[in-house]
Structure 1
Amino acid sequence: MMTDYDLPVWFWDPETTDEDRSDWMTQERCRRQAMRQQTAYRRRMEQSAERRARREAANPATVAVEEYR
């Protein structure tokens, strides 16, 4: 099935109910809409990504992927 969603591993698990899948899809659509708008959620997510990138850049154990391409 082609989709632009990054589906979680558990999504197609036989034990997952249709209601669980529907809830996840609804939350994902809400998250995407919030990211398209100037919301507090978007600012928090952008700040979180920036902090994560700074930590990775400052960590001496990380290696730049570009060096291996």
Structure 2
Amino acid sequence: MDVDKAAAVISAAGIELTDRRRNGTDDGWSLSFSNGAVVEVRDNGEISASGKGAEAVASLLGLPGKSA
């Protein structure tokens, strides 16, 4: 999944995108959302979610579940 698709899926669920920038290693994008989630979308297609709202976002993207 590319960065635009990931942002669209999450935004369509009513979670506002608050920031989008290249990550620190310049090998992908870092997306921040209003629920506290941060989604990393690497140029090679790898996706990960972290932060307070990570579980909700991971579910929307079909990522493996996170344990609290």
TM over 0.5: no
Which structure would you say has the larger RCO, counting Cα contacts within 8 Å and 6 or more residues apart?
2
Give the number of the structure whose residues are more often strand, by fraction.
2
Give the number of the structure whose residues are more often helix, by fraction.
1
| TM-score, normalisation: structure 2 | 0.20
| TM-score, normalisation: structure 1 | 0.20
State the structure with more CA Rg: 1
